[in-house]
Amino acid sequence: MPSSNGSQPAAPTVAIVGAGFGGIGMGIELRRAGIDAFTIVGRADGIGGV
């Protein structure tokens, strides 16, 4: 959606908390939507959850 001054809005920058199933899936869907400006942060040393 264009911003109020008619220009295209800047792409969002997204922070995803948790590198488990949901967080990784969110990253995949953001990429599919053309949004590459995201960071996944996790509590554990690697990816995965439960």
Residues 10-39 contacting ligand FAD, CB under 6 A = 17-23
Question: Which stretch of DSSP H or E encloses residue 14?
Answer: strand 14-17
Select 1 or 50, whichever has its Cβ closest to ligand FAD: 50
How many angstroms separate the CA atoms of 41 and 23, rounded? 9
Select 11 or 28, whichever has its Cβ closest to ligand FAD: 28
**What's the angle, vertex CA 33, arms to CA 47 and CA 25, rounded to 5?**
25
Q: In the numeric block, which tokens belong to residue 41?
A: 């942060």
CB of 12 to ligand FAD, least distance (A): 20
Residues in contact with ligand FAD by the rule CB under 6 A: 17-23, 41-44, 48-50
